[in-house]
Amino acid sequence: MREVAIIGIGQTPVGEHWDKGLRELALEALEAAMRDAGVERVEALYVGNMLSGQIEAQEHLGALVADFAGMHGVEAVKVEAACASGAAALRVGYAMVAGGLADRVAVVGVEKMTDASGEAITVALATAADAEHEGVHGMTFTALNALLMRRYMHEHGYRREDFAPFAINAHRNAVHNPYAMLRFPITAEAFAAARVIADPITLLDASPVCDGAAAVILCPADQARAFHERPVRIRASAIATDTVALHDRRDPLWLEAVALSAHRAFQQAGVRPEDIDFFELHDAFTIMAALSLEACGFAPRGRGVAMALEGEIFREGRLPIATMGGLKARGHPVGATGLYQVVEAVLQLRGAAGLNQIRDARLGMTQSIGGTGATVITHILEAMA
Amino acid sequence: MHPARAWRGRQQRYRLIGEVCSGCGARLFPPRDVCPACQRPARTPYPFSGRGEVYSYTVVYEPPAGYEEQAPYIVALIQLEEGPLVSAMLTDVHPEEVYIGMPVEMVTRVLHRQGERGVIAYGYKFRPLLRQALPAVASAEAARA
């Protein structure tokens, strides 16, 4: 296997893009990434996306985006794994370069959500769950997370307000990220008073509906310097799965696929959790951030929220998370999110994260969670010396 | 929902019939044909009692299409007395009365309707255990015991 490097990154601002559709968003991110890498052609394109078939009545995104981007004849397919679609597309691109099947690969994650009504988005997102045994009972994606959060509070004795540091940290970091959607700080008081969506989850536990696209360009690591002076090596790429339905898990509060994919990633990279300098995790809801920290081994069982309360997740803490705003405040354009996380990690590892820069960041980890933990994809990235 | 899709689920949705593993004896609901514990076939039907308790619950205020007329409604994870967890709505109860550990029992109700001409899908929901809600019956039973 060859080592793989990221030599170019691109992203659109996350938000409500009334003036841009799927293809325009994807193209904008792709062009930026190719410009950043100084690459004019790629051999393959992988498109991460979850909802285009439901919201835009458009599938076949591999060919569609390749066509619109003027990449005539290129190998191109869409990769789908619910909210982890972007990271899944990166995994495929990584495998192509690592396996020697291609030398220049583009990976783009794109999602267009704001063309649909709230009810339609709720239906569309619920398809990440088990339609026969969860969806049919009126279960929404927010409700599933609320079930987890209430049980977690019950078992570990936390209050709703204890989850505030996750949202406060994310919003604080989004302020300095020009691509983030919610660029304003929030207070603990605002968190406590936020409108309930599905008790105990409020608006400030949840990531927003939005549009966006992010892209990376990959090449073999030994060629990377020819394209970019600060390339980033992919040290690990690991996917694990679990039951799609939450109720089928022996212990719903233990995200088995998070534990498996993180463990595999640590093994591949030959590192331990304490070696990671920052972590772009899947904070679609505050409860997911807590459960991810625990299953990855960054916090003991039941201590994910305590870790946040102790300030360890902030920029100056032991393990900064959501360093550019996370899903909560950068925004969560579902199929694009996995690539936003990677683009942001690359900015940190290049030392180009501006006011959000983590000092001496060398090793970063990103993790996307599809559904309530059915597909989990972890990448470990390293600044090339 | 296509009528055939609703019909395929009739045993589990109307009667709470799951499966039992021929290898390790695990009782599975919803039915899943392969035992997740030992990976052996689990295709022998097994009727669940329909009794259990609330493992966790929440209230849905922003329902998906087809569920508007029921909103706000309570959804829950129910721990069946045979072991498995199941996702379902709670019915015949107010949100403020629900608590983790509340004893519940299965009833058959309308899950959702799809417009004037669509299928009316029925299936299981759970309500507070009726015997417990009727003190007279509960005390009579206690006296017998």
State pLDDT tens for residues A333-362: 999 999 999 999 999 999 999 999 999 999
Average pLDDT of the segment spanning A289-311: 98
Q: What is the pLDDT of residue A115?
A: 96
Render pLDDT for A174-230 as a digit per residue (tens, 0 to 9). 999 999 999 999 999 999 999 999 999 999 999 999 999 999 999 999 999 999 999
Tell me B37's DSSP state: T
Residue from A218, A202, A213, A97 nearest A159 by CA: A202
Among B9, B36, B70, select the one facing A138 at the smallest CB separation: B70
To the nearest whole number, what is the mean pLDDT of chain A?
A: 97
pLDDT of residue B137: 59
The pLDDT, as a whole number, for residue B115 is: 81
The pLDDT of residue B139 is 64
Q: What pLDDT score does B12 carry?
A: 94
The pLDDT of residue B132 is 61
Is A155 an 8 Å CB contact of chain B?
no
A332 in active site: yes
DSSP code, position B64:
P
Q: What's the ipTM?
A: 0.95
Over chain B, what is the mean pLDDT?
Answer: 91
Closest-CA distance, A168 to chain B, in angstroms, reads: 24
Residue B77, min C-alpha distance to chain A (Å)? 7
A140-156 mean pLDDT: 97
Is the pLDDT at A235 greater than 70? The verdict is: yes
Q: What is the pLDDT of residue B114?
A: 81
pLDDT of A259-290, one tens digit each?
Answer: 999 999 999 999 999 999 999 999 999 999 99
With CA atoms as reference, the chain B residue closest to A129 would be B87
Give yes or no for residue B140 having a pLDDT over 70: no
DSSP state for residue B13 in the 8-state scheme? H
CA angle A280, A282, A283 (to 5 degrees): 105
Of A138, A148, A249, the CB nearest to B63: A138
Cβ-defined contact of A138 to B58 (cutoff 8 Å): no
Q: What token pair was written down for B42?
A: 């689990």
- To the nearest whole Å, the CA of B43 is away from the closest chain A CA by 17
Cα–Cα distances in angstroms (integers) from residue A47 to residues A63, A202, A215, A272, B105, in the given order: 9, 32, 9, 31, 46
In this prediction, residues A327-335 reach a mean pLDDT of: 98
Q: Name every chain B residue with its beta carbon within 8 A of the beta carbon of A136.
A: 1, 9, 111-112, 121, 123
Rounded to the nearest angstrom, the minimum Cα separation between B138 and chain A is 28
Range name among A88-102, A128-142, A270-284, B122-136 with the lowest pLDDT average: B122-136
Cis peptide before B135 (omega within 30 of 0): no
Q: Is A251 an interface residue toward B (CB < 8 Å)?
A: no
Contact residues, chain B, for A142 at CB < 8 Å: 60, 62
Identify the residue among B5, B87, B119 best suited for mutation to test binding to A, counting A beta carbons within 10 A and taking the highest: B87
Whether A83 sits among the annotated catalytic residues: the reply is yes
pLDDT surpassing 80 at residue B144:
no
Q: How confident is the model at residue A76 (pLDDT cuts 50, 70, 90)?
A: very high
Q: What is the pLDDT of residue B117?
A: 85
CA end-to-end distance (rounded Å), chain A: 20
